[in-house]
Amino acid sequence: MDAQQFLAEFGHVANAPGGVGRLRELVIQLAISGRLVERIESEATASQAIEAAAELRHAYEEELDLRTTRMHPPLHSKPFPVPDHWQWTRLEQICLYIQRGKGRRFQL
């Protein structure tokens, strides 16, 4: 189904029994597969973005004198396929700071 056909049939799909739920599933599938937006070739690759995030996290930990984040092993299984220009990684590798749901205490 292309964009023109989708827009032409949108009213029929939305008004059908269970149509709104099906539209939600479609949007989620398009988001997961990376088909909601066009890829900009000039952007950094996924591995470059992950490396940049690791550098930022390390600088943040040093600046605030935090303990270094304990990394888990890399992911070996992929729950679902993603576009070739995406990369599976763990959340701790791209976040500045994670501490089991607790926030860092700051002195005012």
For 11-61, how does the pLDDT look when each residue is reduced to its tens digit (9 = 90+)?
777 788 888 888 888 888 888 777 777 777 777 788 888 899 889 888 988
pTM of structure: 0.54
CB atoms within 10 A of CB 105: 5
The predicted structure's pLDDT at residue 107: 63
Q: What is the dihedral of CA 89, 73, 59, 108, to 10 degrees?
A: 90
The predicted-structure confidence for 58-73, as pLDDT tens digits, reads as follows 898 888 887 777 778 8
- 90: pLDDT strictly greater than 70: yes
